[in-house]
A and B are shown apart, each in its own frame.
Chain A
Amino acid sequence: MTEVAVIAYGAGNVASVQFALERLGATVRLTDDPAVIAEAERVILPGVGAAGYAMSRLSELGLVEPIRAFPRPLLGVCLGQQLLFETSQEGEGVDLLGFIPGAVSRLEPAGALPVPHMGWSRLTRDRDDPLLEGVADGAYAYFVHGYVCPDGPATLARSDYGGPVPAMVRSANRWGCQFHPERSAEAGAMILRNFLQVAA
């Protein structure tokens, strides 16, 4: 049975991620212990809210370096995807984990669409990836965010919300989902299942 550590650092809805993984038969550990994270088979970094608060919590808990050094599959969800990048323009500017170049910026969609981007949007695949196996191109996923990652070579799938929204990104064996796979019905479950099955 696959074991996955979900980082519980007070900046995310870890219960819904935990339940989604358990529905798929995974053994889930919610943890803020650097030693447990370092030894996990795979790690999920959830997150909602402010990037500055999330980074300061990770720092206080001594988790920044263990996450940076983690060699096996890691999936950042929502704010967790944004944390994979270098910096965020939120507030005065925040240094993030720095796996992927570029700055996270405020979402400013064309056409005066409401912000935050909240609701079900289609995923358009940019290239094939094990995490997207079995996910129909154009499948809907549930998004909630007011900041957006930079679009670049790391983008695996996009959504459109008054401009391109990097919906899934990847750098080596670190992936990100801007949407909430745990709340994205069948497509989300498929992506989580693929993450549990990708070689550790």
Chain B
Amino acid sequence: MTARRIIPCLDVKDGRVVKGVKFVGHTDMGDAAELAARYRDAGADELVFYDITASPEGRTLDYGWIKDIARLLDIPFCVAGGIRSVDQAARCLDHGADKVSINSPALERPELIAEMAARLGSQCVVVGVDSRLEDGEWVVHKYTGDPDARRRAGKRTLDWLDEAQGLGAGEIVLNCIDQDGVRKGYDIEQLSAARARLTIPLIASGGAGAPEHFKAVFEQSDVSGALAASVFHTGAIAIPDLKAYLAGEGLEMRL
């Protein structure tokens, strides 16, 4: 069996973490590697670094900061944002990332998933999916990093999950954007539907506000991991306390 994974997500711009991370106390949260080490020490099972501006701007990335993170971390980490070619993905891995997550570029050109899986192996290909309920159906959105660029991708979420898995994705992060930032809990219904459709690991994203939300999504949707940002960055939930609570509730956690 595997322990349920607790995965903080850090937004990165030019190698710096941005947005409020309370335990540093400034708007510029400092060096991405430094914060990574803090989460490592707090017992995070994995980290995701998301380059928040890359995808909407369509620019090529300088992934030099990945190396700094890789030097410090002894837990796995994934990088996301603006990766649109196999070469870019390979460069991330060469710098020490364990996985790369692709979202909008995979929607534009789904074969990218297959190309990455063939050259790099499925195990490092994560497909991020931003999904919301519209007219009674879960549908995929793209360019969600930028409110002005964001739009429908023209796919139903469950269809896209099938397609991504069939093309060779090794893991799915399903970000339920109706829940995002609301802190009322993960979208249990949608995540359960996704879990039932997939044979690869599924990570829940969007909506975490309280320890009970993690318990609910692990118990009811049977996801492999739960990703969250603000509740960890603000200090609202401390990872050691969260993991101890979940273990006490009978979930397998790495303590």
Contact = CB atoms under 8 A, between A and B. Distances in A.
Partners in one complex: yes
Given A118-B2, A180-B76, 14 more contacts: A13-B98, A15-B95, A19-B70, A116-B122, A116-B200, A119-B2, A119-B5, A119-B224, A120-B254, A121-B2, A142-B76, A143-B2, A144-B124, A185-B75
A186 to B, nearest CB: 8
A143 B73 CA distance: 16
Given A114-B202, A116-B201, A183-B76, A19 B124 contact: no
Interface in A41-57: 48-50
Interface in B36-60: 45
Contacts of A184: 74
Nearest to A109: B1
Contact of B74 (A13, A20, A116, A118): A20
B162 to A, nearest CB: 15
Contact of A142 (B75, B94, B95, B224): B75
Interface of B: 1-3, 5, 45, 67, 70-71, 73-76, 93-98, 119-124, 170-171, 198-202, 224-225, 254
A95 B37 CA distance: 41
Given A114-B198, A116-B201, A19 B2 contact: no
Given A120-B3, A120-B254, A161-B1, A19 B96 contact: yes
B6 to A, nearest CB: 10
A140 B191 CA distance: 26
B123 A121 contact: no
A114 B70 CA distance: 27
B75 A48 contact: no
Contacts of A115: 199-200
Contact of B96 (A13, A143, A186, A189): A13
Nearest to A118: B201
Contacts of A180: 76, 98
B96 A183 contact: no
A188 interface: yes
A99 B71 CA distance: 32
B198 A144 contact: no
A185 B74 contact: yes
A117 interface: yes
In terms of DSSP, what is the predominant structure of the interface of chain B? loop
Nearest to A162: B1
Interface residues of A, number: 38
Of listed A16, A118, A145, A161, residue having the most chain B CB within 10 A = A118
Contact of B171 (A15, A118, A186): A118
Given A114-B201, A119-B2, A144 B96 contact: no
A6 B133 CA distance: 49
A160 B202 CA distance: 20
9 contacts: A19-B71, A48-B120, A117-B2, A119-B45, A120-B3, A120-B254, A144-B76, A144-B123, A144-B124
A16 B3 contact: no
Contacts of A14: 94
Contacts of A119: 2-3, 5, 45, 201, 224-225
Given A16-B96, A48-B123, A145-B123, A182 B5 contact: no
Of listed A50, A142, A160, residue having the most chain B CB within 10 A = A142
Contacts of B67: 15
B96 A118 contact: no
Contact of B5 (A114, A120, A160, A189): A120
A44 to B, nearest CB: 15
A146 interface: yes
3 nearest A-B pairs in the assembled complex, by CB-CB distance: A49-B121, A119-B2, A15-B96
Interface in A6-65: 13-16, 19-20, 22-23, 48-50
B216 to A, nearest CB: 19
